[in-house]
């Protein structure tokens, strides 16, 4: 005798629970989530801790892995289900090449993109903060600008210093291109000798970051989402 096929059905509550579990799993794995409303879906991505590059960071240290974010950003750009991208930053910086690669990828996206700095957007987090088409920062957040440096053993040769200089120029050019700040001002802030203990550079709060042109506007989640929704609506029309 042939066995009859039995169809399993799920209640609306079970379906909601399943979707919630999937969303929580996605958040836990990649610190991101897709938020769907009536007529639009916004993809929210957070960049926290250190941006991990070619080398693994020690255990117990918060990290954003760039090899996970690169394909994720490509997916957001190519997936028609997503209308825009919100990037939330609270990062101390990290690997220079990895951070700049992510910033270039976000800046080259065609979909509406908005960045929001919460807590901090330090070091290589600055290019990430300005990579969106519109950028926001909360008043209590800070951003640190300092010269490129490297830890560990280095070869004390002119070529090493030339590499540092060229990398710093690429970062300055990117920031100046994607913000209202000019390179001369940025370089001056990077080289300030009397603001950071045992280091050189500048720490800017939210209002100062807007004043020098690094960030477009002081605002929080409401303002960032409102701007992104407007950009999405304009993009659709």
pLDDT tens-place string over residues 153-201? 778 888 888 988 899 999 999 999 999 999 999 999 999 998 887 889 9
Interval 40-52 mean pLDDT: 95
pLDDT of residue 203: 96
Number of domains in the chain: 1
- For 1-83, strand residue ranges (E) read 32-36, 41-52, 63-65
Confirm whether 153 is domain-assigned: yes
Is 9 inside any structural domain?
no
pLDDT of 125 above 60? yes
Task: Write out the two tokens for 173.
Answer: 């050019």
Mean pLDDT of 74-103: 96
Residue 117, H or E segment: strand 113-121
| Residues in a beta bridge with 230 | none
Closest-CA residue to 88 (of 35, 39, 164, 38): 35
- List Cβ neighbours of 122 (8 Å cut-off, separation of 6 or more): 91, 92, 93, 142, 143, 144
Give the mean pLDDT of the chain: 88
> Per mean pLDDT, which of 24-28, 37-41, 56-60, 132-136 is the most reliable?
132-136
In a domain, 54, yes or no: yes
Average pLDDT score over residue span 138-165: 87
The structure's pTM equals 0.85
Residue 39 phi/psi, 5-degree rounding, is: -125, 10
- The boundaries of the domain holding residue 194 are 30-236
Q: Is residue 13 part of a domain?
A: no
The pLDDT score that the predictor gives to residue 39 is 87
Whole-number Å distance between alpha carbons of 45 and 137:
16
**Are the beta carbons of 174 and 104 closer than 8 angstroms?**
yes
Active site residues: 123, 146
Asked if 85 contacts 42 with a C-beta cutoff of 8 angstroms, the reply is yes
Judge whether 10 lies within some domain: no
Q: What is the mean pLDDT of residues 45-49?
A: 95
Position 11 in a domain: no
Residue 6 lies in a domain: no
Q: Is residue 22, in this structure, part of any structural domain at all?
A: no
pLDDT of residue 17: 52
CATH number at residue 62: 3.90.226.10
Q: Who contacts 132 (Cβ-Cβ below 8 Å, separation ≥6)? A: 85, 87, 106, 107, 113, 114, 115
Pick the more confident residue, 148 or 205. 205
Q: C-alpha distances in angstroms, 32 versus 64, 86, 116, 165, 196?
A: 11, 10, 14, 34, 33
């Amino acid at each position: 005798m042939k066995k009859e096929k039995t169809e399993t059905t799920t209640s609306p509550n079970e379906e909601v629970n399943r979707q919630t579990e999937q969303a929580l799993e996605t958040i836990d794995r990649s610190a991101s989530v897709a938020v769907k409303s009536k007529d639009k879906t916004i993809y929210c991505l957070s960049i926290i801790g250190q941006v991990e590059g070619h080398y693994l960071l020690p255990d117990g240290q918060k990290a954003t892995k760039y090899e996970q974010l690169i394909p994720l950003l490509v997916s957001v750009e190519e997936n028609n289900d997503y209308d825009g991208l919100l990037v939330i930053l609270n990062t101390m910086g990290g690997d220079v090449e990895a951070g700049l690669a992510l910033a270039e990828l976000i800046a080259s996206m065609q979909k509406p993109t908005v960045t929001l700095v919460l807590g901090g957007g330090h070091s290589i987090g600055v290019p990430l903060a300005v990579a969106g088409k519109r950028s926001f920062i909360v008043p209590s957040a800070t951003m640190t600008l300092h010269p490129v440096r490297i830890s560990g053993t280095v070869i004390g040769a002119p070529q090493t210093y030339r590499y540092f200089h060229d990398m710093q120029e690429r970062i300055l050019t990117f920031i100046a291109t994607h913000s209202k700040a000019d390179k001369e001002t940025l370089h001056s802030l990077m080289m300030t000798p009397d603001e950071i203990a045992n280091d050189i550079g500048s720490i800017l709060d939210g209002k100062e970051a807007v004043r020098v042109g690094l960030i477009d506007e002081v605002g929080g989640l409401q303002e960032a989402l409102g701007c992104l929704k407007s950009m999405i609506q304009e993009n659709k029309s």
